[in-house]
Amino acid sequence: MLANSKYRKTYPISWEQLHRDSKALSWRLLDMDYFTGIIAITRGGMVPAAIIARELDIHLIDTICISSYDWKDKKGEAEILKSVDGDGEGYLLIDDLVDTGRTAQLVKQIVPKAHFATVYAKPAGRPLVDTFVTEVSQDTWILFPWDTESQFVTPLADRGNI
């Protein structure tokens, strides 16, 4: 994170936690109307969508491809790289996270009748989501497992005065 970043906290998510949280989202969606298919928002929504598709026994999966973030900061305008046909009726729209709501607003214009579900939600984007599992503060940067790797960390005692 950058020193001048608006993010003051990090929240690391392991593969196991992401799987548990995506399965918890599946439990919330299980008793809702039958979904014809899933639309995953790439790239972050692809892993949760795969888990949810398995848990809800949904085999029809499509993607809306949008580029709105790079690895450290927001880009300018969101760019639609691939859309879908239809208004989303009968579909479950999945993303990993709703942050500011910019991507959510754009996607909801494309598929306004889809049920929008995210694993994680921040306060600014939460009103745009129909179903989510975990809320995190707006000033928290979520470290997803596909953005991190395990490596050696020097023990605190060996770091000198911090």
DSSP codes of every residue in 48-86: HHHHHHHHHT---EEEEEEEEE-SSSEEEEEEEEE--SS
- Closest by CA to 74, choosing from 122, 141, 148, is 141
Instruction: Please indicate whether residue 70 is annotated as part of the active site.
Output: no
Q: Mention every residue, 6+ apart, whose C-beta is less than 8 A from residue 120.
A: 21, 96, 97, 98, 132, 133, 134, 135, 136, 142
Instruction: Please indicate whether residue 99 is annotated as part of the active site.
Output: yes
CA-to-CA distance for 4 and 25, rounded, in angstroms?
Answer: 34
Choosing from 21, 33, 95, 139, the catalytic residue is: 95
Choosing from 21, 85, 99, 158, the catalytic residue is: 99
Choosing from 57, 96, 130, 147, the catalytic residue is: 96
* Residues belonging to the active site: 95-96, 99
